[in-house]
């Protein structure tokens, strides 16, 4: 009975620890941040607005409803968005996200990024609501 409680406590601790590791926002190797997961209050709000404003909602091939995607991209030294790759619930929505971000005439102000936000790649979750047609 006592062993069962210890095993249960150990299991809960391990699952909690592993869950915490999965929530880490950045991975680092040799003090170089490799990837940063972006959220709504991170200073990339203007980029999100430009994506929304330039997204073509008229394509008939989009899946209806809420479509979730993750878009991965890099920033060049001058702040230009490069290497855009998106994947999610609908390949056509992901393709449009890639198209919009790849063709934006927009540069991220690298001086405004905090040191913890400088990375070799960024991941930004995107949710798009496609209404009934």
Q: Alpha-carbon distance 124 to 47, whole Å?
A: 10
pLDDT digits (tens, 9 = 90+) for 30-54: 445 566 677 666 667 888 899 999 9
Between 132 and 56, the more confident residue is: 56
Confidence of residue 19 (pLDDT cuts 50, 70, 90): very low
Confidence of residue 116 (pLDDT cuts 50, 70, 90): low
Between 121 and 88, the more confident residue is: 88
User: Hey, is 105 helix, strand or coil?
Assistant: coil
3-state secondary structure string across 25-84: CEEEECCEEEEEECCCCCCCHHHHHHHHHHCCCCCCCCCCEEEEEEEEEEECCCCEEEEE
Q: Alpha-carbon distance 43 to 56, whole Å?
A: 24
Q: Alpha-carbon distance 121 to 72, whole Å?
A: 7
Q: Which CATH number fits domain 35-55+65-130: 1.10.10, 3.40.960, 3.30.70, 3.30.1150?
A: 3.30.1150
Q: Alpha-carbon distance 39 to 17, whole Å?
A: 22
Give the residue extent of every domain in the chain: 35-55+65-130
pLDDT digits (tens, 9 = 90+) for 53-106: 999 988 889 988 999 999 999 888 888 899 999 999 999 999 999 999 999 988
pLDDT higher than threshold 70 for residue 111: yes
């Amino acid at each position: 009975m006592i062993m069962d409680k210890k095993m249960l406590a150990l299991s809960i601790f391990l699952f909690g620890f592993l869950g915490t590791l999965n929530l880490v926002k950045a991975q680092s190797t040799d003090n170089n941040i490799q990837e940063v997961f972006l959220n709504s209050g991170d200073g990339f709000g203007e980029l999100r607005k430009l994506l929304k404003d330039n997204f073509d909602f008229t394509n008939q091939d989009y899946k209806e409803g809420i479509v979730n995607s993750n878009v991965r991209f890099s920033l060049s030294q001058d702040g230009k968005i490069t290497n855009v790759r998106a994947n999610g619930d609908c390949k056509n929505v992901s393709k449009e996200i890639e198209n919009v971000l790849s063709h934006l005439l927009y540069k991220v102000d690298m001086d405004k990024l905090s040191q913890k936000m400088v990375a070799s790649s960024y991941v930004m979750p995107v949710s798009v609501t496609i209404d009934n047609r």
